[in-house]
Structure 1
Amino acid sequence: MQSPGAYHPPTKKFSLHDLKLKPKPTSTEIAATVPFPILSQEGVRAYRRSLFQANVLKNCASSPYPGTLVLRNAAEHSKFINDFWTHPVTCRIVSEAAGVPLSIIMRTEIGHTNIQGHGSTVDEMLVELSVEPDATKTELTEEEKAYDPLVGESIIPWHYDSFPYVEGPAIGWAVVLQGGEVQHLATRGLGVKERISTITSYRADIPQLYDSSHISNIRPYSDLQVLYKEWTQYRLRKMKSEIESLELQIVNSCGPVDVSQVHEFAEQQIAYLKRTARQLIPYEHQKSQLSRFGRLRIFRAANVWEKAEMLPTFDDLAYGASSIGWRPDSPLWLDLAESLVEIERGKELESQTGNFKWEKKRKFSMGDELLRQGLAEMFLDWLDFTGLYQLVQI
């Protein structure tokens, strides 16, 4: 941990209003902070020493694609990592930066680490790791020299000629970001040998604040037995807390029960429990789809869908996947029907990336429904069934 007096709070915080973003039922006021120091140089070494233990690397390392090493569930195998993130001082620092009390979502979400490497396999990238930070500069390749951070998908559209923005932190520094509400990108480091970022996911510990958490982005490279257990427990604890909060409110009320409030609460909890369950893709399905499509394709499912939409046979194939074909007994078909009703009523739809209104001229399809729910693995399975997946690959 940082030596006394070395920590300094962020010198500036950005609200959603500062970034010209509309607040949502899921959001709190502070969108992000500028980088601030949280670990001393010795603290960084101690953290890396714990993170790069053989036991941690053996149980936590994976690679979603070449050049990227991921360490997940490190808190389960390192007391230092667990103690650092759960320490009351750390929790206070992060909560004060966010402007609201925060609590860690799941233990497996503690200290999720992304490491930029140069190898194409886990073993090749593991040998690059060392306790001492490597600040060695490297010569840029011709491709890197030609890299323009303001072109294509390397920058968020509203960042064009737009300030303020949040820069990446230096060694031992941190930022607080409402990642579920603020679109963000982390580009690869250029001209350096290593780039290591460690992330811990929190939620605002505020009763009745809508919880938009999901596991779509971590499911493809997580130990599902660990992830599913922690996810289910976390969601049930949150649900229990909401029920107890309403119960206390009713107990302390002098007047009659607000019937409309109870009905609304019941609908919210039903929807919450449904979202919880939908994120749990059956083990055998997840294993099969990961083997068929690979992590990179799963992560880029939205891009695959954009290409499919441009095909001349899109309408015939996308809407020909009837309920007697692809997984006819799946409750996802009921979800699609409900979404179509909401669209007809002019209502917004919830999604893992925030609420949105369907404004495309074509009909909302099962592909859209699966991506809305963050079920990229199931989406690719459905796309393959329709015949569109093969056409996109040509």
Structure 2
Amino acid sequence: MPAAAPLFNPKVHLAYQKRKAILTMKDIKLDPSPISQVASTDPFQLLSNEGVKAFRRELFSKNVLENCSFPTRPGSVQLRGMAPRYAPFTYQFWTSLEVLGIIRDLAGVDLVPVFDHEIAHTNIQLGPHGLDGVKDTPSKKETSKPVVPWHRDSYPFVCVVMLSDTTSMIDGETEMAKGDGSTVKVRSPTMGGAVIMQGRHVSHIAIPAGNMPERITLVTSFRPRDPIIVDDSSLMNVRTKSLLPEIYYQWVSYRLRLLGERFKDEADKLNARYTDAVALTDEAKPGFCRKETVDFDGLTNWMDEQMRYMRQTLFEMRPVTDEDNINKNYIPRID
């Protein structure tokens, strides 16, 4: 049986226009980040009209709404954990070479989605009548509370994409805290536009939008592809709005794979030092090395770092009980 045709077509769904400027960590008076000096990009166009339609069609499909909706606060809903099971286009988009290349170039570091469950987390600010009333225009008073309060993200980088028409929008920016106690606002992207932010290291808030019937944003989270780069991800902000058995599996799986890559890299470095040391012996043969190749202090520090990473992996989880095995807001269906 031939493979199914791809749903994502970069020639149809992308309309990328490179951002005009970026804010660095130094610009907002914060300490340097171990990952990248990019704090946030200016908004840039990412999606074509067809791309916006494709995302909206999939996100508001019956399966996604019935299986992946998490009410948060009055007037706000989150969609989580839809890819790839219920949202194959969304999954193909965020794992494509074309999109990952754009993210890498703007973030200043090679990034990949943290894991599938965090692909296209969707924040939805609705009018007073919920999903059935998206044609109603909420007043300023009705949207006075932030969509998301002051926080730092669970993961190193995010790409936020606007899926709503912002022509008449009032406010709706992202406000970032600077190191000197002041703040700076990053204007909201227009429909199909995006912003990339190092949200784990920059405290920020989503200012509510007024004078529009909805505000729908995709938030896909990223971590460095290189396993050696610092990864201080956390589940704190997302644990209560996730299907716990699924997110715990994906969390532990990626952390174990990353640890395996780190251990292999360290073993390769040790082997290279040993090979160099053996080359200095009389016969250049292994088995009788007289030069020390193990850096005990360095190895101790490295192992302490990995053990901290392992302990943090466990700390971010809580035992799943029969009562919360299925999140009360998450009602699974059998396809």
1:75-224 to 2 correspondences below 5 Å: 75=83, 76-119=85-128, 125-128=130-133, 139-141=139-141, 158=178, 165-224=185-244
Contact 2:177-2:204 at 8 Å conserved across structures: no
| Inter-partner Cα distance in structure 2 for 1:105 and 1:164 | 27
**Higher mean displacement: 46-55 or 160-169:** 160-169
1:1-394 to 2 correspondences below 5 Å: 1=9, 3=11, 6-25=15-34, 27-75=35-83, 76-119=85-128, 125-128=130-133, 139-141=139-141, 158=178, 165-253=185-273, 254-255=276-277, 256-284=293-321, 287=324
Contact 2:178-2:184 at 8 Å conserved across structures: no
Counting matched residue pairs gives 276
3-state secondary structure, aligned to 1:175:
strand
**Higher mean displacement: 197-206 or 160-169:** 160-169
Tell me the alpha carbon deviations over residues 325-366 of structure 1, each in whole angstroms, 9 at most, x when there is no partner: xxxxxxxxxxxxxxxxxxxxxxxxxxxxxxxxxxxxxxxxxx
| Inter-partner Cα distance in structure 2 for 1:237 and 1:128 | 44
| Inter-partner Cα distance in structure 1 for 2:101 and 2:59 | 23
Q: Against the structure 1 CA distance between its residues 277 and 221, is the aligned structure 2 distance closer, same or farther, given a 3 Å change threshold?
A: same
Contact 1:159-1:165 at 8 Å conserved across structures: no
| Inter-partner Cα distance in structure 1 for 2:294 and 2:180 | 51
| Inter-partner Cα distance in structure 1 for 2:256 and 2:145 | 45
Counterpart residue identity of residue 49, structure 1: R
CA shift for structure 1 position 258: 1.4
Counterpart residue identity of residue 233, structure 2: S
Provide the identity percentage: 31
Structure number with the bigger relative contact order (C-alpha 8 A, sep ≥ 6) is 2
| Inter-partner Cα distance in structure 1 for 2:265 and 2:177 | 40
| Inter-partner Cα distance in structure 1 for 2:10 and 2:44 | 12
CA shift for structure 1 position 234: 1.0
CA shift for structure 1 position 31: 1.3
Contact 1:69-1:115 at 8 Å conserved across structures: yes
| Inter-partner Cα distance in structure 1 for 2:303 and 2:323 | 31
Contact 1:3-1:40 at 8 Å conserved across structures: no
| Inter-partner Cα distance in structure 2 for 1:94 and 1:125 | 33
| Inter-partner Cα distance in structure 1 for 2:266 and 2:177 | 41
CA shift for structure 1 position 108: 0.2
The runs of 5 or more residues in structure 2 that have no matched partner are 1-8, 151-173, 278-292, 330-335
3-state secondary structure, aligned to 1:234:
helix
Q: Against the structure 1 CA distance between its residues 172 and 21, is the aligned structure 2 distance closer, same or farther, given a 3 Å change threshold?
A: same
| Inter-partner Cα distance in structure 1 for 2:308 and 2:243 | 26
3-state secondary structure, aligned to 2:65:
helix
Tell me the alpha carbon deviations over residues 175-198 of structure 1, each in whole angstroms, 9 at most, x when there is no partner: 110010011111111111100111
More helix by share: 1
CA shift for structure 1 position 165: 4.1
3-state secondary structure, aligned to 2:123:
strand
Contact 2:23-2:41 at 8 Å conserved across structures: yes
Counterpart residue identity of residue 316, structure 2: Q
Q: Against the structure 1 CA distance between its residues 108 and 67, is the aligned structure 2 distance closer, same or farther, given a 3 Å change threshold?
A: same
Q: Against the structure 1 CA distance between its residues 227 and 161, is the aligned structure 2 distance closer, same or farther, given a 3 Å change threshold?
A: closer
Tell me the alpha carbon deviations over residues 52-87 of structure 1, each in whole angstroms, 9 at most, x when there is no partner: 111111111110222111100111311111111111
Counterpart residue identity of residue 34, structure 1: D
TM-score where L is the length of structure 2: 0.74
| Inter-partner Cα distance in structure 2 for 1:58 and 1:68 | 16
| Inter-partner Cα distance in structure 1 for 2:76 and 2:138 | 18
| Inter-partner Cα distance in structure 1 for 2:145 and 2:95 | 39
Contact 1:117-1:194 at 8 Å conserved across structures: yes
